[in-house]
Amino acid sequence: MPDSYVIALCVVALCATAAFFYRAAVLIIYPYELDYGEGIVLWQAQHVTHLSTAYASIQHYPYIVFHYTPLYHLVSVAMSKFTGDLLIAGRLVSAISCLGICLTLAWIVYSTAPKSASRVAVIGGAVLAGAFPCGLIAMRWVPVMRVDMLGLCFTFAGLAVFVLARTSAQRYCAFVLFVAAMYTRQTLVSGVVACLLVAFVMNRREAIKFFAFTTLLGSVTMAALWFATRGEVIKHLFVYNINRFSIRLSFILLAKNLFHPLMIPFLALAAAAAFGSIRATARAISRRNLAPLRASLSTSPYHLALFTFTVHCVLAGLTSLTVGKSGSNVNYFLEFNLSVFVLASLFIARLLWRRRPKRAFFKIALAYLLPIVLVACLTLRVSALVYHLRSMGTRQAEDSEALMRILSRSPEPVMSEDMTLLYKTGKQLPFEPAIVRELAATHIWDETPLVNLISNRRFSVMIISKDYMIERYSPAVLRAIRDNYKPTETHGIFTVYVPSANATPRAQ
């Protein structure tokens, strides 16, 4: 394929990528909340260096669940030593992790290229592979202070190390990265399971060793957390995370993700890339002979990458069905979508590596038009993100500043759904509404003490989003707020509630 064509594609892709990270840089230094979930993660990072406080019993005030494993929070605390602000540090960790994912995908494509391909084509394929994730719909999650991007960076780095490792000893590093991913977000298990399955196909004895090593490393770490928190960590990570679930909602949201106009071309290419691996596996199983498949995986990094990411994509797709969990968001599709992008990138890279496509008109059109379509999708999506950034006015910041002034002059305890404001005003976070609602709905936790606090008007002020009252509060808590507090002023999406003078306190 002509070098000028590849270079032109890469220039457009790099411009779009630069615009994406420019947007991320602007959002990193925005001093107020970008997403509702930032506040609870910020509180967790504040307390993570004291594990017994972080994973404390929720039977006592404050009623807060530490619903993630702690590695992201620890990295954010370390980063805050340089930034001086924990919120900016957490966002910076997410943005750097996103950059790490892009570079990892580029590394995979670059390292699996055949020696016969031109350097321009190889570098071009790597550049496109690194740029494509920036057009992912769920990448609006960058650079929010959430655990996902760091965990995914560990996951895809582990997949890359596994695929590109030349010795079994090197592959142990991949499983260290997988354990790191699980201790960033405990649900990130698709990567390690995929590599264990692939290792089992290639060498059963080694696969058992990898499994034993991963289990030992993960268990020792969990045992240390268990002793440090007197067993509370198990409750926070697993028991308190059992939210209500709708399988119908799972499939609706999955279909919405799959059939988004910007996702369809990548999904089609991923399916084309995975077809060979699926066919080879089916042939090996039907003939009860894994030797040809093992030989292909052992001798060709490209085939090993295709096979590994095909397995990972299937597992990540199944895991993404947990999006039916109450309180879920688009981040549940990140791992699956990124795996789709890896497969699509490997397919596109192979087209670029061919100096002269075969003369059939369809194949020539495919080789030349598909990369243009994908780069256009990337550019359109990033343009939409940057345009949205420009539409963010000063009004939101002014509303946040007004709410900060209210919280600063209000005696504790106070309550705010914008939990980043509590951090900035030095106030204690009393509870996180959405998690508490789920605990009450699933009968895991008795909300009576919290209802009594509200009914007795213990909070000097409550800042509540008028758009999410039904979604984030149980009926009992919502009734207590309405019976004992009155709205006084509104700033943006938030309404300020203060104790109502004519309310009757509830007996303890």
**Quick check: 419 and 42 in contact, CB under 8 A?**
yes
Pair 402, 383 in one domain: no
Task: Look up residue 369 and give its two tokens.
Answer: 């038009």
Which range (128-132, 161-165, 422-426, 503-507) has the least confidence? 503-507
Instruction: Calculate what percentage of the chain has a pLDDT beyond 90.
Output: 63
109 has a pLDDT exceeding 50: yes
Please name the amino acid found at residue 400.
S
In a domain, 43, yes or no: no
- Regarding predicted confidence, which is higher, 450 or 9? 450
pLDDT of residue 361: 45
In a domain, 150, yes or no: yes
Question: Whole-angstrom Cα distance, residue 320 to residue 432?
Answer: 24
In a domain, 159, yes or no: yes
Confidence of residue 466 (pLDDT cuts 50, 70, 90): confident
Residue at which a domain ends, from 391, 419, 452: 391
13 has a pLDDT exceeding 80: yes
Confidence of residue 407 (pLDDT cuts 50, 70, 90): very high
Q: What is the mean pLDDT of residues 109-122?
A: 88
Question: Whole-angstrom Cα distance, residue 173 to residue 3?
Answer: 36
In a domain, 56, yes or no: no
pLDDT of residue 475: 93
Please name the amino acid found at residue 24.
A
**Quick check: 131 and 13 in contact, CB under 8 A?**
yes
DSSP H stretches of helix in 183-263: 190-202, 204-229, 232-234, 247-258
Mean pLDDT of the chain: 90
In a domain, 177, yes or no: yes
The residue assigned the tokens 């992201």 is 72
Residue at which a domain ends, from 374, 391, 408: 391
Pair 311, 350 in one domain: yes
- Give residue-wise pLDDT tens across range 25-39: 999 999 999 999 999
Q: What is the mean pLDDT of residues 125-151?
A: 90
Pair 315, 450 in one domain: no
Nearest to 445 by CA among 18, 34, 67: 67
Confidence of residue 507 (pLDDT cuts 50, 70, 90): very low
Phi, psi of 490 (to 5 degrees): -125, 135
Pair 255, 118 in one domain: yes
Give the total number of structural domains in the chain. 2
Pair 155, 253 in one domain: yes
Pair 352, 471 in one domain: no
Residue 411: CB atoms within 10 A of its CB come to: 9
Confidence of residue 1 (pLDDT cuts 50, 70, 90): low
Q: Domain containing 350: what range?
A: 3-32+67-391
Which range (360-364, 390-394, 441-445, 465-469) has the least confidence? 360-364
Nearest to 428 by CA among 12, 56, 125: 56
Torsion sign over Cα 166, 172, 176, 178: positive
In a domain, 243, yes or no: yes
Pair 363, 468 in one domain: no
151 has a pLDDT exceeding 60: yes
Pair 78, 154 in one domain: yes
**Of the segments 308-317, 320-329, 386-395, which one has the largest average pLDDT value?**
308-317
Pair 328, 360 in one domain: yes
Residue at which a domain ends, from 361, 391, 421: 391
Q: pTM of this prediction?
A: 0.93
